Copies of this chain bind each other. A is one copy, B any other.
């Protein structure tokens, strides 16, 4: 399975993070480690998980010293168990030490998101529901985190405010204030941005029919009970695709999925995943 990631983005982010850490001016390593000393460093999982971010980690070492050689044992998107070696870097010990922390910062964080995503995806296995991310991402890392979600088997909700229309409750109120209907609002969107899919958020089953009249591609069922979600699926009968959100946890995600919704979005995938425990073991 290939998980595409823009090589320019990888390089830009890795470089920025190395400069943020002033890795090129590591006062300890440059004063204490001989320039000629070489070694190899192994990324080792300290707990089971799903890998994401290996190409970024690779770039960190290469940007510090292009003599570093990176040999992956796993690929992004693969599951691994505790204690498994994930990749080996060979090169000057100086470079291995200078890039270590930044490489781990990327790898642990992205693998944390991939691992959490995979848990949700596994929990709904056999249903038709996709697990989606949200726009609740770390500022500056959106493309990377959405990639990590794909590594975990999830799918990407809209990337940004321009790539899909979402009529939320506040929009509905503004629309009502101006004396317009949802149908008119959807038409205004299609007039301005005809190629963009429209999703309408509802938080009560009673709003469903009015929303469907606007013929959106998607309807978002926000914070609704499982009973109401099931009712919405039945009532919609394929006239739009349905997404459930709000209060989704590993404990209840399968029940939500079994209502027949098309997708379930989970903010925690990106805003609250904890870093996975991965270490770098150096030998020389």
Q: Are A195 and B30 in contact (CB under 8 A)?
A: no
**Which residue of chain B lies nearest to A272 when distances are taken between CB atoms in the complex?**
B274
Encoded as 1 (CB less than 8 Å from any B CB) or 0, chain A from 102 to 122 comes to 101110110010000000000
Expressed in whole angstroms, the minimum distance between the Cβ of A23 and any Cβ of chain B is 5
Taking the nearest CB of chain B, how far is it from the CB of A17, in angstroms? 4
- A196 contacts which of B27, B102, B284 (Cβ < 8 Å)? B27
- A97 partner residues in chain B, CB cutoff 8 A: 168, 170-171
How far apart are A34's CB and chain B's nearest CB, in angstroms?
A: 5
**A9 proximal to B (CB < 8 A):** yes
A161 contacts B8, C-beta separation under 8 Å? no
A175 B9 Cβ-Cβ under 8 A? no
> A195–B164 contact, CB under 8 A?
yes
The yes or no answer to A222 lying at the interface (CB within 8 A) is no
Bound form: Cα–Cα A260–B23 in Å:
32
- The answer, among B21, B140, B161, for a CB contact under 8 Å with A13, is B140
Of A32, A135, A166, A178, chain B has the most CB atoms within 10 Å of the CB of: A32
Docked CA distance A162–B159 (Å): 9
Complex CA distance for A15 and B140, rounded to whole angstroms: 10
The distance from the CB of A6 to the nearest CB of chain B, in whole angstroms, is 3
- Please report the C-alpha to C-alpha distance between residue A82 and residue B271 in the assembled complex, in whole angstroms: 20
Residue contact A162 to B27, C-beta cutoff 8 Å: yes
B35 and A2 within 8 A (CB)? yes
Which of A17, A164, A170: most chain B Cβ within 10 A? A170
| A29 interfacial by beta-carbon distance below 8 Å | yes
Least distance between A166 CB and chain B CB atoms (Å): 6
Give complex CA distance A32, B272 in Å.
32
Nearest CB on B from A70, distance (A): 17
Contact between chains at B195 and A197 (CB < 8 Å):
yes
Question: Is the CB–CB distance between A167 and B32 below 8 Å?
Answer: yes
From the candidates B13, B98, B167, B192, name the one contacting A30 in the complex (CB within 8 A): B192
Q: Known: A161-B23, A194-B262. Contact between A185 and B31, CB under 8 A?
A: yes
The interface stretch among A71-79, A150-158, A202-210, A248-256 is A150-158
Contact assessment for A163 and B20 in the assembled complex, using a CB-CB cutoff below 8 Å = no
B140 touches A284 (CB 8 A): no
Chain B contacts of A15 at CB under 8 A? 8
Of A33, A98, A138, A160, most B-chain CB atoms within 10 Å: A160
The complex places the Cα of A165 from the Cα of B159 at a distance, in Å, of: 14
B191 touches A218 (CB 8 A): no
Beyond known contacts A6-B25, A31-B189, A268-B274: 9 more, CB 8 A cutoff: A17-B140, A21-B135, A28-B168, A28-B189, A104-B136, A140-B141, A155-B191, A195-B217, A272-B274
